[in-house]
Amino acid sequence: MTNPLLSDWDTPFDLPPFTLISDADFAPAVDAALDAAKANINAITRNAEAATFANTVEALELAEDKLGRVLGAFYAMAGADSNPAREALQRDFAPKLSAYGSWITANAALFERVETLWNQRDTLDLTDEQARVLMLTRRGFVRSGAQLVGADADRLRDVKSRLSVLGTEFTQNLLADEREWFMKLDQDGLAGLPDFVVATARSAGKEKDAGGPVVTLSRSLIVPFLQFSERRDLRQKAYEAWTARGANGGKTDNRAIAAEILKLRAERANLLGYATFADYKLETEMAGTPAAVRELLMKVWEPAKASALSDAKVLERLLHADGFDGPLEPWDWRFYSEKQRKKLHDLDEAELKPYLQLDRMIEAAFACSTRLFGLTFEEIEAPTYHADVRVWNVTRDGEHIAVFIGDYFARGSKRSGAWCSAMRSQQRLAGDIRPHVINVCNFAKPEEGQPALLSYDDARTLFHEFGHALHQMLSDVTYESISGTSVARDFVELPSQLYEHWLEVPEVLSEFATHAETGAPMPEELLTRMLGAATYDMGFSTVEYVASALVDLSFHEGAPPADPMQKQAEILEEIGMPHAIRMRHATPHFAHVFASDGYSCGYYSYMWSEVMDADAFAAFEEVGNPFDVELAKRLEDTVLSSGGSVDAAELYVKFRGRLPGVAALLKGRGLATAS
C-alpha cells in the first residue's frame, strides 16, 4: 500500500492528506525522506564541477523538500493532537534528526564547497539576498561545529543528540502533568464562579469523564478560576498544582533534565570556543551580548517591581478585610486583583466576555489585515488532523497568498500555550511556493451549542499569533531558509506584538465586540472602561515575566548550576522578587527555554521586541490613522515581507528611520512614572 506521506497530495493547495495518514506511516516516511535528503546532499559533494552558488547553496536549499513535507505534517499533529504513538515517534525521531543534522555539518566536502564560495564572495556577482544566504549558511555550519575535528567533533555530535532527546522528554513530561491533573468541583467549589467559568469547567469535566465540573491546568480555565473562586483553599490547591508542573517527582519530573540541559549547553558553547552559552546564543541576536539583555531587563524590572509592591499592599488589605490573617499569597493575587479592578474601573471579566466571541475576534483579526494589507479570507473544506481545526484560503486581488489554519480550543492531547508554525514556508526557488501557516491556541471550549467566549488576554493572544502568521503569509523572498519568521529571535516577536495594538483600536472593538446573545455592540462606556483598564495590574504581569527572563539569562551566562532550583531561588532573592508573585514559568515547566534551543537564553526577546513594537505603532499614532495604507505598505515592504534577507536592525531602521529606546515600552505598560 502506498504511503500517503510520500505520494503526490491530491488536496486543496497541496495540504497534507491528514485523513489518509495513520501513525504507522510516519516512521517509514521519515526514513525515506532522510534517505532522499542524504542522496541530494551526496550529489552536491560528488559534483565534479567547481562550487557555484547554484550547485551548492541553492542545491542545499532544495535538498530537504521531501523531509520538510513529512515533518511539517508530523509536528503539526504531535504538538496539537498528541497520543502515545506520536509521543513515541517524537522520542525516536529526536536523536535520528539530530544525527542527520550533525552528519551535514560534519560533512567536510560540503563545508569545503561552502567555504570556497565564502572566500570568493566578492567575485561571485551575488544579489544582496544571495550574499545574505551565503553568509547565514556558512555561519550555520561554523556555529554547528563544522570546523571541529577529532574528539571535539565527536563530542559535539553526542551533546547535540542528547540535547534533542532531553528537549523531547521535557515537553512530554510537561504535557503528561498537564493532562493528568484535574480537581473536581462540588456545588460549594463553584462559589463565586461566573456562568462562563462554570460552563467551561463542565465542558472540561465531560472531556475528563469526571461526572461533573473540574478545574484543569489549562490556562484558559485555571486563570479565571483563580480570579473568581471564593474558596481560598481550592485556589491554593489549584495554583500549587499549576506551578508544580514538571516537579512532582517520578517519571515526569523535569528538574534533573533541566540541570543536564544547562550543563550540556555550556559544554557545547565551550567546544565551539565561547566562554558561556549566553555568549554563543546572543552572538546572532539583535541584543548581541548578555550585558545588553540584562541592561534592558533591569531598566524595566525596578519600576515594575515598585508598581507591583504598591499594588500588593492594596490587595493585602482586601485579604485582611475578608478575615484572613497573614501575607497575600500567590493564589490570592488574581482573586483580589479582580475585585480591585472592578472597584477602580467598574469592570469585571464576566461583564466583558459575552462581547469577546472567538468567531468575532477571528473576524476582527482578518478585517484589520484586509484594511492594512488587502488580504481576504475564505473558509474552505480541507483535510485536517482534528475536527476543531478550520482552514482558510488567503488571497489578495484574487491571487492566492497562503493557506491559514486555525486550531483554537484546549484539549488533553495539545501542549499548553499558543504558537504559530508553518507546515510549508514561502519561497520562489522551487517555483512560487505559498505558505501553509497554523495558529494554535488553548482557549476554553464551550459546551455544545454555545459560543466560545474569550477573555481580553485571550483576544490579545489571538491577535499576537495572527501577527506571526502575517509575517509568514506576507513573506516575499527567494530562499526558504530566510523566509517568514526565520529572523533573529529578539526580532521575531515584533510583528506579533505590534499586531496586538490593533485590538485596542476603538473602531475595531466597536464593530466586532458584539454580545453573544443580543448581537448588540459593546456599549461605548464599557469599551472606554475596558481600554482604560488596559494597563491595570501591569506591575504584576511585568514582574512575573521579567523574573523569568532574568532567571533564563542567569542560567546561561555563567557556569551551569548543579541545582537549577537552588539557583532560581538565589536569583529571585537577589532581585527582590515580591512574595505574592511567582515566575510566569518556573524552571520545571519553562518549555520556552528547555523544550528546545529556540528561546534558550532568549526569553527576554519578547521585551526586546516590545521596545520596537511600542515605537512602531507610535508611527501610526503620529499620522493619526491606525489604518494608514502608505505606512502599512512600508511596514510590509520592510519588516513583514523581508524575512531574514536583511539584518533585523537595518530592517527596523528602514521602517522607522531609527532604533527605539525603552521609554515607549514603559509608557505603554503604564510604568513610566512608577517608582
CA separation for the pair 590, 282 (Å, rounded) = 19
The C-alpha cell that represents 91 in the structure block? 522520542
Cα Dmax for the chain = 83
Query: pLDDT class for 52, splitting at 50, 70, 90?
Result: very high
CA separation for the pair 402, 434 (Å, rounded) = 5
pLDDT tens for each residue of 472-490? 999 999 999 999 999 999 9
CA separation for the pair 481, 478 (Å, rounded) = 9
Neighbours of 160 (CB within 10 A): 20
The C-alpha cell that represents 246 in the structure block? 514538571
Give the model's pLDDT for residue 316: 98
CA separation for the pair 611, 661 (Å, rounded) = 7
pLDDT at 599 exceeding the cut of 70: yes
Pairing of β 436-443 and β 399-409? parallel
Burial class (CB in 10 A: 0-12, 13-18, 19+), 364: buried
- Contact 411/445 with Cβ under 8 angstroms? yes
Which residues does residue 409 pair with via DSSP β-bridges, in sequence order?
Answer: 443
Comparing CA positions, the residue from 105, 215, 83 lying closest to residue 159 is 105
- Contact 642/584 with Cβ under 8 angstroms? no
Residue 488 φ/ψ, nearest 5 degrees: -55, 140
CA separation for the pair 184, 216 (Å, rounded) = 9
How far is the CA of 50 from the CAs of 53, 114, 117, 187, 592, in angstroms? 10, 11, 10, 77, 43
Q: How far apart are the first and last CA of the chain?
A: 69
Give the model's pLDDT for residue 534: 85
Give the model's pLDDT for residue 670: 87
Give the model's pLDDT for residue 674: 45
Comparing CA positions, the residue from 535, 542, 197 lying closest to residue 341 is 535
Neighbours of 543 (CB within 10 A): 29
The C-alpha cell that represents 560 in the structure block? 551551569
Spell out a b/e string for 402-434, using b for 16 or more CB atoms within 10 Å of the CB, else e. bbbbbbbbbbbbbbbbbebbbbbbbbeeeeebb
Cα angle 239, 240, 241 (rounded to 5 degrees) comes to 90
Neighbours of 654 (CB within 10 A): 14
Give the model's pLDDT for residue 673: 56
pLDDT tens for each residue of 146-184? 999 999 999 999 999 999 999 999 999 999 999 999 999
Cα angle 424, 425, 430 (rounded to 5 degrees) comes to 95
CA separation for the pair 129, 69 (Å, rounded) = 25
- Contact 417/176 with Cβ under 8 angstroms? no
Residues recognised as catalytic: 465
Give the model's pLDDT for residue 665: 87
pLDDT at 420 exceeding the cut of 70: yes
Half-sphere exposure of 201 (CA within 13 A, CB side): 26
CA separation for the pair 467, 46 (Å, rounded) = 43
Please say whether the dihedral angle defined by the alpha carbons of residues 390, 393, 396 and 398, taken in this order, is positive or negative: negative
pLDDT tens for each residue of 334-364? 999 999 999 998 888 888 999 999 999 999 9
Cα angle 229, 230, 232 (rounded to 5 degrees) comes to 95
Comparing CA positions, the residue from 304, 172, 194, 181 lying closest to residue 239 is 181
CA separation for the pair 310, 328 (Å, rounded) = 13
pLDDT tens for each residue of 319-332? 999 999 999 999 99
Q: DSSP H helical segments within 538-628, as ranges? A: 538-556, 564-575, 591-594, 605-622
pLDDT at 24 exceeding the cut of 80: yes
DSSP structure class, residue 523 = P
DSSP structure class, residue 459 = H
pLDDT tens for each residue of 276-312? 999 999 999 999 999 999 999 999 999 999 999 999 9
CA separation for the pair 547, 572 (Å, rounded) = 7
For the chain, give the mean pLDDT: 95
pLDDT tens for each residue of 192-208? 999 999 999 999 999 99
Give the mean model confidence (pLDDT) for residues 566-576.
97
CA separation for the pair 489, 243 (Å, rounded) = 26
DSSP structure class, residue 467 = H
- Contact 169/257 with Cβ under 8 angstroms? yes
How far is the CA of 173 from the CAs of 146, 409, 410, in angstroms? 33, 21, 18
CA separation for the pair 650, 327 (Å, rounded) = 49
Comparing CA positions, the residue from 500, 506, 494 lying closest to residue 460 is 500
Give the global pTM. 0.92
The C-alpha cell that represents 437 in the structure block? 501557516
pLDDT at 675 exceeding the cut of 50: no
Which amino acid is it at 516?
Answer: A
- Contact 89/75 with Cβ under 8 angstroms? no
Burial class (CB in 10 A: 0-12, 13-18, 19+), 10: exposed
Which residues does residue 91 pair with via DSSP β-bridges, in sequence order?
Answer: none
CA separation for the pair 647, 642 (Å, rounded) = 10
Which amino acid is it at 547?
Answer: A
- Contact 489/497 with Cβ under 8 angstroms? no
CA-based radius of gyration for the chain: 25
